[in-house]
Amino acid sequence: MIPTYLERIEESGYTYASRLEELVKVSDILTLHTPLTSENYHMVNREILATAKDGVIIVSTARGELIDIEALIEYVKLGKVRAVALDVVEGEPISSEHPLLKYGNVIVTPHIAAHTEEGVRGMDEAVVEAIINFLEDKPIDGVVVSPKNPRRVRPS
């Protein structure tokens, strides 16, 4: 019999958490890597932070709107959240006077996590590949917005 993913998780010595509330109670680090949806707006909020393990570290390179910043500031101030590293913040760009920036245990970068030498090179290579595929009438990987008539060139 093929083990289910839950059995494989348990056999590996891990515990499956079906809800964020369960996960934050036992996690030393909470790191967010999810797109923003109407269901997960402010998924890290006062209720989640209140139940989080004391001294939790929060990292997000996903979307700023996943975290209720006012609640985060409150729990950083209380010491419940030990450290924060964000590449995204709701309402970015934020000013140098943003209240989150006054804490020494908070790092905020200006939404540039992908802008490493390797990341930029990868973007360049993907663009070149997309152009070649377009010219050779092949499918283009990673198209986010697909026009109705992708092969029709506008007359000049």
Catalytic residues: 63, 92, 111
Contact 73, 49 (CB under 8 A): no
Distance CA 37, CA 40 (A): 5
Contact 128, 141 (CB under 8 A): no
28 Cα distance to chain centroid = 17
**Bridge partners, residue 118, by sequence:** none
CA torsion 78→80→82→88, rounded to 10°? Answer: -90
